[in-house]
Amino acid sequence: MFNMKEKISIIVPVYNVEKYLERCVESLLLQSYKNIEIILVDDGSTDQCSKICESFVEKNSHIRVIHKENGGLSSARLAGVQVAKGEYILFVDSDDYIAEDMVEKLYNAIVQEHAELAICGYYTKDEEIKKASLLPYKEKMITGRENILYNYILPLIGNIPGEINIPGFLWIRMLKKNLIREEYFVSERKYFMEDHVFDLYYAEKVERIAVVNEPLYFYCINRTSLSNCYRREKWKMYVNLLDFYEQYLEKHEIGKEIKRIEYFIRSAVFATVDNAVLSGTYKAFYKELLLMLEDQQILDLFFLNSSKGMSGMQRIEKSLLKFHMYKTLYYIRKSRLEDIYNS
């Protein structure tokens, strides 16, 4: 049994997702835990999202809508938190949806384990369910600052093959509202993976983390979403995140975790190459690549680091970068991305 006296605020940033919005909100209305409020934050949509939001408000007393000028995902989430009346917060992206018992299971876990945070697995979904992603934990609880540091905080920084790594997505986490601060919401226009910055700030306040190791969230691959489109000067966003990671590690006196920084740089380089390919032409690709090539100190670390754990294709791409064979790199990666998107 669970106590429905505590209200859960579900915050949904909305921006030009008229095709998916109803599916998302309907999944929230079907929640088995009924003491919820749904806050739709219309972040300056230019399609029919505003009207769709208002139509839901007219039919459901526990749905509210905020209309604001476009400020990005983080600003929309913050706007929702600022008006939320719930003791706990759940963020849901408007082109995704959730299992009907997600709120119930995360809330139950928080209450039963006296936790400040609950985290669950998720499905990655395209036309059909493609992959279930579970958490790398056997226990239902992560407790104690040292345990949280080495089994939750550090695994958020750099994805090391064979070691504990956890996703940073905010939408698989239920949070206590009174622990959330405005400064946690950094702009996705400045940082890539801005969720990680929030996670790391919030983790400083946490003594107990409840683990619900089953997929309850449906992350839907949307080719037009921010995470799947070309983003201008994406490399700078990675560098900003790298600076944040290094300062965070130094602050917590764990600056010796060089390996995770090295793996983060590796991921950032390959992701930047892919992003540059998405710019559309070789000329645009090279212009975007130049931003990365100018950061010689970071690139030197990338080239000096071991290629252990890289795929054969990644090893080839690393060599092409090292020997300035950029046009070959462009056409190889372009062909590879086309195969992925068409599969």
Is pLDDT at 39 greater than 80 in this prediction? yes
The predicted structure's pLDDT at residue 337:
82
Instruction: Return the pLDDT at 225.
Output: 53
Q: Which of the residue ranges 37-51, 126-140, 163-177, 250-264 would you say has the lowest mean pLDDT?
A: 250-264
Q: Token pair of 326, please?
A: 């950029």
212 and 96 in a common domain: yes
| CB 227, CB 278: distance < 8 Å | no
Cβ atoms within 10 A of the Cβ of 85, count?
Answer: 10
Residue 336 lies in a domain: yes
pTM above 0.85, yes or no: yes
- pLDDT given for residue 258 in this prediction: 78
| Domain final residue pick, 159, 188, 220 | 220
CA angle 57–70–98, rounded 5-degree value: 50
Q: Are strands 88-91 and 208-220 parallel, antiparallel or unpaired?
A: unpaired
Helix (H, G, I), strand (E, B) or coil at 254: coil
Question: Average pLDDT of 245-253?
Answer: 87
Residue type, 148: I
How far apart (Å, rounded) are the C-alpha atoms in residues 303 and 307?
9
Amino acid at 38: I
315-342 average pLDDT score: 89
Q: What percent of the chain has pLDDT over 90?
A: 75
Residue 255 has pLDDT above 80, yes or no: no
Q: Are residues 18 and 44 in the same domain?
A: yes
Kindly state whether residue 268 falls inside one of the protein's structural domains: yes
Return the exposure string of 8-29: e unless at least 16 CB atoms fall within 10 Å of the residue's CB, then b: bbbbbbbbbbbebbeebbebbe
Q: Tens digits of per-residue pLDDT, 192-248?
A: 889 999 999 999 999 999 999 999 999 998 755 545 577 888 999 999 999 999 999
Q: What is the pLDDT of residue 68?
A: 97
Asked whether residue 104 falls in the same domain as residue 210, the answer is: yes
Distances from the Cα of 253 to the Cαs of 108, 148, 149, 174, 298, in angstroms? Answer: 34, 15, 11, 28, 22
pLDDT class of 84 with cuts at 50, 70, 90: very high
Last residue of a domain, one of 220, 247, 282: 220
Average pLDDT along the chain: 91
Amino acid occupying residue 47: D
In a shared domain, residues 212 and 271 = no
**Boundary residue ending a domain (185, 220, 255):** 220
The tokens for 257 are: 């975790």
Q: What b/e string do you get for 153-169 counting C-beta neighbours within 10 Å, with b at 16 or more?
A: bbbbbbbbeeeebbbbb
114/181 same-domain check: yes
C-alpha to C-alpha distances, 269 to 99, 126, 201, 289, nearest whole angstrom:
35, 26, 25, 10
Is the same domain home to 181 and 268?
no
Quote the CA–CA distance of 339 and 342 in Å, as a whole number. 5
Q: Element (H or E) spanning 10, and its range?
A: strand 8-14
The answer, yes or no, to whether residue 340 has pLDDT greater than 70, is no
Determine the pLDDT at residue 317.
Answer: 94
Domain count, the chain: 2
How distant, in Å, are the alpha carbons of 21, 38, 147, 156, 171 from that of 13?
Answer: 10, 11, 33, 24, 11
Answer whether residue 3 is part of any domain.
no
pLDDT of residue 31: 97
Q: Rounded to an integer, what distance in angstroms lies between the CA atom of residue 4 and that of residue 314?
A: 50
Residue 3 has pLDDT above 70, yes or no: no
Q: Which residue has the tokens 């929230």?
A: 28
Segments forming the whole domain that contains residue 272: 230-342
Q: What CATH number does the domain containing 139 carry? A: 3.90.550.10
Banded model confidence at residue 159, pLDDT cuts 50, 70, 90: confident
Distance CA 229, CA 238 (A): 16
Q: Does 144 fall in a domain?
A: yes
Are 207 and 61 members of one domain? yes
Task: Please give the pLDDT value at position 226.
Answer: 46
Residue 201 inside a domain? The answer is yes
